[in-house]
Structure 1
Amino acid sequence: MLLLGLLLLTLLAGARLLWDKWKFRSLRLPPLVPGFLHLLQPNLPLYLLGLTQKLGPIYRLRLGLRDVVVLNSKRTIEEAMIRKWVDFAGRPQTASYQLVSQHFPDLSLGDYSLLWKAHKKLTRSALLLGLRNSMEPLVEQLTQEFCERMRARAGTPVAIQEEFSFLTCTIICHLTFGDKEDALVHAVHDCVQDLMKTWEHWSIQILDIIPFLRFFPNPGLWRLKQALENRDHMVEKQLRQHKESMVAGQWRDLTDYMLQRLGKPTAEESHGQLLEGHVHMSVVDLFIGGTETTATTLSWAVAFLLHHPEVQQRLQEELDRELGPEASGSQVPYRDPARLPLLTATIAEVLRLRPAVPLALPHRTTRPSSILGYDIPEGMVVIPNLQGAHLDETVWERPQEFWPGAWLGGCLRRGGGRGPVLWLQNPGSFLLPADRFLAPGASPRVLAFGCGARVCLGEPLARLELFVVLARLLRAFTLLPPGGTLPSLQPQARCGVNLTMRPFQVQLQPRGAGDWELGQHP
């Protein structure tokens, strides 16, 4: 099937190339990269970044039959997604996207419309308003329970990625369903893992390149449909239980909040009405987008700290100085990140080097537009290379290095001390010192969660989890490589949507009072 598909693809791609050349003959399009098998390249975000040396930060390439524009710099991404966000807010409706949201309108994969805006508003208000007073204590409580479980396994090598995955799934289960029973968490966790594995398999991804292959026998397609049925059955059961037990005017969790907001018209709903199916897919997006991405980022943070024990030691000194010994149980000051500047800088550096979704999800132009003077036709697919933008040498000095101190005036490289930090409005975001820039006036914004209309709605929750989990983990344990074997810092060569890492283990050595006293006298 694959060989036949490649042969047909070659013929159709040639015909499509001639058609597009005639159709867009009057436009000034970005330069075109030869070939159409770019998806077969290992470490695709870095490969795409490498093409900028000859073609500049914006160019076109062919992914199967489709012409796409790739943005590889912060300047091009921010021009498109922030300054011209309406032009680039669409989403292409590929074969795999249509499969995932075949019964209900999806938020992450749905195309831009007024009804989509109402769907987004509903989900965002649930996250920011529905649980605004209980989200932080809940994350603290579940993280503390996680650390207690890890303490029982002290001295034994731990597959930390799996543990983080289960923790983030537990948090989402409690926030969304008001339940953290192990049976439900395991069921949801297995469902998410199964969905991601089947959706990212080549037999499904190739359908987006060669759509007509969906009419051929495909075991991967059958497995995906089974996983989707399991997903929908699980969510429908939870929605049914919530409707039977919820009390009007009160909400126990995000699902209660969203269900009770249905039927309250908004300005965006003039072109349609939000239905229970919208809540269904909001729940799905919360689980798909809020478990593995955060767990992967936490795992990358641990891996970098294993390679840089000097950073880990300074983080522990900062935590001990600000919060006292771990046994004191004081809350992590997420709302006052200036108290823990190095922890916040470390999170920013991990997000810069290893964004969980390095190529974001593709956008689609809703009308003709332009970027850096190039014409971008309506309906064009646009891919923001977030990892490429974070490694842009015209913005970042020594971009490939793990250097949290650069966010604090480079104090880790210049003999210690706590450098100045200039905070922006959003917690976890702050300005770089001038010596970290190579381009005057460049913005230091990390784009790991995207930007503009399609920014990740779970960013506030993800930042809270990263901050609290790393703080509590480093207060309770020293992270050690089992047998001195350090994990690889290179992503797996061929990833799906997420930037996956090679499995590794870590040894968690409990810290005692002696460690805290050392932290008081660095």
Structure 2
Amino acid sequence: MLFIGLLLLLLLPLLATTRLLWSLWMLRTLHLPPLVPGFLHQLHPNLPFYLLGLTQKFGPIYRLRLGLQEVVVLNSKRTIEEAMVKKWVDFAGRPQITSYKLVSHDNQDLSVGDYSPLWKAQKKLTRSALLLGIRSSMEPVVQQVTQEFCERMRAQAGTLMTIHKEFSLLTCTIICYLTFGDKVQEDSLVHAFHDCIEDLLSTWDHWSIHILDILPFLRFFPNPGLWRLKRVIEKRDHMVKEQLKIHKETLVTGQCRDMTDYMLQGMKKQMVQEGDMGPLLEGHVHMAMVDLFIGGTETTATTLSWTVLFLLHHPEIQQRLQEELDRELGPLASDFCVQYKDRVRLPLLNATIAEVLRLRSSVPLALPHRTTRPSSILGYDIPEGMVVIPNLLGAHFDETVWERPQEFRPERFLESGTGPRELAFGCGARVCLGEPLARLELFVVLTQLLRAFTLLPPAGALPSLQPQLQYGISLQMPHFQVRLQPRGASAPDPGENQ
């Protein structure tokens, strides 16, 4: 094994050079985007900001190499929408990289699955489960779980807390209820899924896994990070299979208790009408459930946490939000809750959510796309099979679209009803399927939280608004604490609870 490893290391430069020369030969007649020199760009901290900075020299679309892989990066709203909306079929693919294959169950994942008729059927089933299967129960569940969350927060009022952890457990609880229905009677089930998803995300984001996408042959070498990821995935799949087993044993045809019921029955209907694309299998339902937890827990919790952090820095906005809530919802003692369909009554809250999503997208580089056929962007040729990265941060900081884009100014979304919209959930065929649920959660949680509490920073300096310095594709929010003061209560002594 050692001999083979040394041989591969000696051959690597030759293989890289051969691949580079072959690529240059094949692409010699194309008008390609400009190429950024170097091949270790992924080692730059806070990669979305680094990629955005390259636009000053290379423009809103350019190529660069991440190890042996050449990619095209889109850094403006115009380029992203041209690719993902106007020419969505051309850019609907996913690269089948090593880490994707590891976390996907027999290549049946929805988020990282490649574009195909079977993928389209899986997407349609999952979207229907969200928008039709639990349409009547989604908002009541979110309202109920959020109300219980606020009661728990009231018990901790006045103490410093790490609210991101609380938000993470809240969003995971909502996903559990919507996915598993009334079976979520024990907190142990929610905590088990929450801990598993946190462990999976942290392990998947480790450098020892990222390097496998750059140098896939390293998966044959000892790698503790890879071993840990496989153990977490095995635990994840065991938990999901247990829930699928329970649902199949208690399923009543024609009745829909939750999303799992809806997808299992929808899968059976599709098997009868499969045509030439092959049937949807239980594994597709399995991975749709996994995607709901991965995509619907930490991302929404992170956006809620960023909102709290921005409001700590802008208490005048927080005060205006509370005045808007009091005006529209009545006195604090009232149990009246505005419905999501009537959210137009709270324009400043909607604008604040949009501004936080613009400034701090929880997945700023989205997931990489792959061209399904030759195409073009802004007159540049994009060959078939090219990996394309939409830098959503570039779209949100685009000075041709947004005035003073780096400033927190919710009022920019109040100035015109026809103004630009943020792309925090992506766009086109690969838009995040959980967007309706996430926007509902953001609205309901912030409505109830700001109506019940005033958000106060710790004594002393305010927490930083800058992402933590880290290596990776996401922007890590800084650790911070907050004090929740029940509205109407007197302000606490700043020296308490330190």
TM range (shorter): over 0.9
Residue 346 to residue 11, structure 1, CA distance change in 2 (3 Å): farther
Q: In 1, Cα distance between the equivalents of 2:51 and 2:414?
A: 30
Q: Larger deviation: 66-75 or 505-514?
A: 505-514
After TM superposition, give the deviation of residue 138 of structure 1 in Å: 0.8
1:488 corresponds to? 464
CA contact (8 A) 1:9 1:210 kept: no
2:448 corresponds to? 472
1:360 corresponds to? 366
Q: In 1, Cα distance between the equivalents of 2:414 and 2:407?
A: 15
Q: Does 1:94 align with 2:97?
A: yes
Q: In 1, Cα distance between the equivalents of 2:244 and 2:283?
A: 10
Which of 106, 111, 121 pairs up with 1:108? 111
Which of 437, 455, 460 pairs up with 2:436? 460
Q: Larger deviation: 90-99 or 261-270?
A: 261-270
Which of 26, 34, 53 pairs up with 1:50? 53
Aligned residues: 485
Which of 342, 352, 356 pairs up with 1:350? 356
Residue 324 to residue 3, structure 1, CA distance change in 2 (3 Å): farther
Tell me, what secondary structure is at the counterpart of 1:331?
Answer: coil
Q: In 2, Cα distance between the equivalents of 1:469 and 1:18?
A: 54
Residue 9 to residue 157, structure 1, CA distance change in 2 (3 Å): farther
**Superimposed CA distance per residue, residues 457-501 of structure 1 (whole angstroms, 9 cap, x where no aligned partner):** 000000000000011000000000011332211112225454321
CA contact (8 A) 2:365 2:390 kept: yes
**Superimposed CA distance per residue, residues 255-289 of structure 1 (whole angstroms, 9 cap, x where no aligned partner):** 01101111213877531100111100000000000
Q: In 1, Cα distance between the equivalents of 2:8 and 2:165?
A: 36
Q: Larger deviation: 492-501 or 94-103?
A: 492-501
- Which amino acid is 1:116 matched to? W
Q: Does 1:508 align with 2:471?
A: no
- Which amino acid is 2:466 matched to? Q
Residue 293 to residue 393, structure 1, CA distance change in 2 (3 Å): same
2:313 corresponds to? 307
1:284 corresponds to? 290
1:222 corresponds to? 227
Q: In 2, Cα distance between the equivalents of 1:79 and 1:21?
A: 26
1:403 corresponds to? 409
Q: Larger deviation: 43-52 or 228-237?
A: 43-52
CA contact (8 A) 1:333 1:339 kept: no
Of structures 1 and 2, the one with the larger relative CO (CA 8 A, separation 6+) is: 2
- Which amino acid is 1:219 matched to? P
Q: Aligned ranges for residues 153-172 of structure 1 at < 5 Å? A: 153-172=156-175
- Identify unmatched segments of 5+ residues in structure 1: 410-420, 423-430, 433-443, 516-522
Tell me, what secondary structure is at the counterpart of 2:150?
Answer: helix
After TM superposition, give the deviation of residue 327 of structure 1 in Å: 2.5
**Superimposed CA distance per residue, residues 188-239 of structure 1 (whole angstroms, 9 cap, x where no aligned partner):** 0010001001111000010001111111110101000000000000000000
2:203 corresponds to? 198
Tell me, what secondary structure is at the counterpart of 2:31?
Answer: coil
Tell me, what secondary structure is at the counterpart of 1:264?
Answer: helix
Q: Aligned ranges for residues 70-149 of structure 1 at < 5 Å? A: 70-103=73-106, 105-149=108-152
**Superimposed CA distance per residue, residues 134-184 of structure 1 (whole angstroms, 9 cap, x where no aligned partner):** 100110010010000000000000100000000000000000011432100
2:495 corresponds to? none
CA contact (8 A) 2:296 2:434 kept: yes
Q: Does 1:250 align with 2:226?
A: no
- Which amino acid is 1:330 matched to? F
Q: In 2, Cα distance between the equivalents of 1:476 and 1:194?
A: 32
CA contact (8 A) 1:93 1:111 kept: yes
Q: In 2, Cα distance between the equivalents of 1:343 and 1:5?
A: 56
Residue 76 to residue 104, structure 1, CA distance change in 2 (3 Å): closer
2:339 corresponds to? 333
**Superimposed CA distance per residue, residues 405-442 of structure 1 (whole angstroms, 9 cap, x where no aligned partner):** 12113xxxxxxxxxxx52xxxxxxxx33xxxxxxxxxx
After TM superposition, give the deviation of residue 503 of structure 1 in Å: 1.2
Aligned-pair Cα RMSD in Å: 2.0
Q: In 1, Cα distance between the equivalents of 2:75 and 2:105?
A: 32
CA contact (8 A) 1:117 1:268 kept: no
2:38 corresponds to? 35
- Which amino acid is 2:297 matched to? T
- Which amino acid is 1:29 matched to? L
Q: Normalising by structure 2, report the TM-score.
A: 0.94
Tell me, what secondary structure is at the counterpart of 1:302?
Answer: helix
Q: In 2, Cα distance between the equivalents of 1:49 and 1:7?
A: 35
Q: Normalising by structure 1, report the TM-score.
A: 0.90
**Superimposed CA distance per residue, residues 44-86 of structure 1 (whole angstroms, 9 cap, x where no aligned partner):** 1111111111111100000111110000000000000000000
CA contact (8 A) 1:33 1:59 kept: yes
After TM superposition, give the deviation of residue 11 of structure 1 in Å: 4.9
Q: Larger deviation: 470-479 or 96-105?
A: 96-105
Residue 92 to residue 172, structure 1, CA distance change in 2 (3 Å): same
Q: In 1, Cα distance between the equivalents of 2:215 and 2:159?
A: 47
2:189 corresponds to? 184
After TM superposition, give the deviation of residue 513 of structure 1 in Å: 8.6
- Identify unmatched segments of 5+ residues in structure 2: 492-498
Q: In 1, Cα distance between the equivalents of 2:310 and 2:290?
A: 31
- Which amino acid is 2:450 matched to? L
